[in-house]
Structure 1
Amino acid sequence: MSAPIPVLICDDSAFARKQMIRALSEWNVSITEASHGLEALEAIRAGKGHLLFLDLNMPILDGYQVLERIRAQDLQTLVIVVSGDVQSEAKSRVLGLGALGFINKPIDAKLLQQSLAEYGLADELEKRQSAQPKAQGSSAPSFDELYQELSNVAMGRAGALLSELLGVFIHLPVPKVRMCASDDIAALLEQLRIESDSSGTLCQGFIGPGIAGEALLIFDQHSMEDMARLMKVEGDLTPSHQREMLLDVSNVLISAYLGELGRQLDIEFSQGVPVILGQHYHLPDPGTLKRWKRTLSIEVGYRIEGFDISCNLLLLFTDDSINALNDIARYL
């Protein structure tokens, strides 16, 4: 058997890198990991990236910027993008920047093998007989990293559906995942209470097996006005128009996000009736918040290219849900 092929996995998620390493376990490769684009470029220059598996949504230097620099600097590497951003425009853009192919997250061994065969790389990499290869810098992911990657895939699916609905390209961020204590929750909800006077905010409860939470979709008023123009709402932006737009967008973002998150966790979420913050629903008062010990918070910001429109999707899981989520996540 020939020498192992140098493979570079660039993804800010330790969980995603671990999934890719597992999928590559049968192949004759030596693996190096990078957590952002600058690390990836350094590894390519060091000869560690004959084949690069590249994520798109990363801090410091994202996948698009990495592809641009690879082309500008004439770096020798073959690039396959592996991303949760499944917008058709995202695929077109990376192929236009020189990527060999595009694989949707989450990755598994069967999908990888099909893709390598499709891109003509299966023979070059060869199957291996030994155990799974060890990667430089590999470490076990934390629960926060796991939830961030699950959120990344769910975010991408929801963004793609919104892109189809509006006929635009959606810029996707790195999701923000954190465990919030009671004081953090109070500060966050107080900020939302203040901002709700000048924004459109929709709230929708959700439940699953042993899991409950609240999803909030938040637009500032300026974005709501631009969204009305994008959706060709005629006349002044009335409360009725604003409610209809919030419901339309929430039906895509919240439903798609929870659907994809549930699919990855192998559970099904049920959603409550959506309500408009400040009109039909008010946030808990500080006295009520004293009963909250902690919550898992996931925040995703969507930005529409070519328009001054952005919105935040915020999910808050109750304290009682966290242990149930962790029990499910351990099997992943």
Structure 2
Amino acid sequence: MTEFTLLICDDSSMARKQLLRALPSGWPAQVFHAADGQVGLELLRQKSIDLVLLDLTMPVLDGYGMLAAIRREGLSCQVVVVSGDIQDEAVRRVTELGALAFLQKPVDPAILMRTLVDVGLYDPAARSGLAQGAEEPQPSFRDSFQEVVNVAMGQAAALLAKVLGVYVRLPVPNVNLMEVGELQMALAQAGNEKRLVTVSQGYIAGGISGEALLIFHDSEIADVARLMHWQPDQSSPMELLLDLSCVLIGACLRGIAAQLNLPFSQGHPQILSHDGELAQCAQLEGVRWQRTLAVELCYGIEGYDIHFDLLLLFSEDSVPLIQRNIAYLME
């Protein structure tokens, strides 16, 4: 029997581990791994790969670029996209680029099996165990939490895309445990360089506390207002930003909460700074922390010169509980 070959292409070792565990039990497939689309392409050029399980949001070369290269070079493989970017436009684009199916992260093993059967890539009768080469990745805490945020970020973008009728460009989340002083200096530097408006919103969840900062470029507020069909007689531009912040921050926190089984309670959003004065960030409740688990997401709206940065700042005391709940995901 000819061995089936499979490539899991995702920058997150946690996502690769989850996919490996979600594969049909007893499937006689040899599995390869790649952490970005460029490495994945090199493997496709060197080896005969039957199926690629492909993420979209990756560094170096993303999933869209890899799909386009596979088509352009005529590489012989089938592709199923497994992504946290669940925007309708994302599904449409990957289908147009030749993907057989689109699955939402974190993937449900039953849905994965049914999809593989439906597209003719898996025969439930052929069961003899995974071939060699399928070593299970061992993700770090940072990598694991980054993947949790990646899934939540995609859910938030899908909601924002529907509310605004746009396509939201997603970044690779940046997760770091850093000194609060470092954060304050970075924010102060940003405030010195650009005119910014920052919305702050606190959140708590059984042992976890944090502060969300949504940072807008002052010059883009008018574009955001037009995109949201704002009328001067309805509300002020600042109220508009507060509404948008509630949508984006709330959706992202709900996505994290659903995965970690930790529902968040959110405070009222407020304008923390205006006209580029980010010095007030030094007055954050989080300044009492020595360190913070900082998550940075840089969203962009395709077709518009609109960008905004979302910072999720978790207290140092929150980290052990987050670690424990992430460990449950891998059991």
TM-score by length of structure 2 reads 0.91
Aligned amino acid, residue 303 of structure 1: G
Give the aligned partner of residue 45 of structure 1.
45
Pairwise CA distance, 1:230: 1.4
Helix, strand or coil for the counterpart of 2:281?
coil
Aligned amino acid, residue 227 of structure 1: V
For 1:149 and 1:244, how far apart are their aligned partners in 2? 32
Pairwise CA distance, 1:58: 0.4
For residues 24-57 of structure 1, give each alpha carbon's deviation from its aligned partner in whole angstroms, at most 9, with x where no partner exists. 1512211000000111111112224210001000
Determine which of 217, 237, 242 is the counterpart of 1:242.
237
Aligned residues: 324
For 1:205 and 1:284, how far apart are their aligned partners in 2? 15
Q: CA RMSD in A?
A: 2.4
Determine which of 135, 150, 153 is the counterpart of 1:152.
150
Give the aligned partner of residue 228 of structure 2.
231
- Alignment of 1:203 with 2:190, yes or no, is no
For residues 161-186 of structure 1, give each alpha carbon's deviation from its aligned partner in whole angstroms, at most 9, with x where no partner exists. 00000101111110111111233223
For 2:285 and 2:248, how far apart are their aligned partners in 1? 31
Give the aligned partner of residue 82 of structure 1.
82
On the 8 A contact 1:28/1:126 being kept in 2, the answer is: no
Change (3 A) 1:165 1:186: same
- Unmatched runs of 5 consecutive residues or more in structure 1: none
Determine which of 125, 131, 141 is the counterpart of 1:143.
141
Pairwise CA distance, 1:126: 5.2
Give the aligned partner of residue 14 of structure 2.
15
Aligned amino acid, residue 53 of structure 1: L
**Aligned runs of 1:268-307 on 2, under 5 Å?**
268-278=263-273, 282-285=280-283, 289=287, 291-307=288-304
On the 8 A contact 1:162/1:252 being kept in 2, the answer is: yes
Pairwise CA distance, 1:224: 1.2
For 2:198 and 2:286, how far apart are their aligned partners in 1? 21
For residues 61-92 of structure 1, give each alpha carbon's deviation from its aligned partner in whole angstroms, at most 9, with x where no partner exists. 00000011111110000000000000001000
Give the aligned partner of residue 320 of structure 2.
323
Pairwise CA distance, 1:193: 5.3
- Unmatched runs of 5 consecutive residues or more in structure 2: none
Change (3 A) 1:38 1:193: closer
On the 8 A contact 1:32/1:48 being kept in 2, the answer is: no
Change (3 A) 1:224 1:135: farther
For residues 112-145 of structure 1, give each alpha carbon's deviation from its aligned partner in whole angstroms, at most 9, with x where no partner exists. 112213323232x754243x55546753000010
- Alignment of 1:313 with 2:297, yes or no, is no
For 1:42 and 1:177, how far apart are their aligned partners in 2? 28
Give the aligned partner of residue 221 of structure 1.
218
Change (3 A) 1:270 1:235: closer
On the 8 A contact 1:33/1:135 being kept in 2, the answer is: no
Helix, strand or coil for the counterpart of 1:128?
coil
Change (3 A) 1:126 1:180: farther
- Alignment of 1:266 with 2:265, yes or no, is no
Determine which of 175, 178, 181 is the counterpart of 1:177.
175
For 1:288 and 1:142, how far apart are their aligned partners in 2? 25
For 1:330 and 1:105, how far apart are their aligned partners in 2? 17
Determine which of 246, 249, 253 is the counterpart of 1:251.
246
Aligned amino acid, residue 270 of structure 1: S
Helix, strand or coil for the counterpart of 2:307?
strand
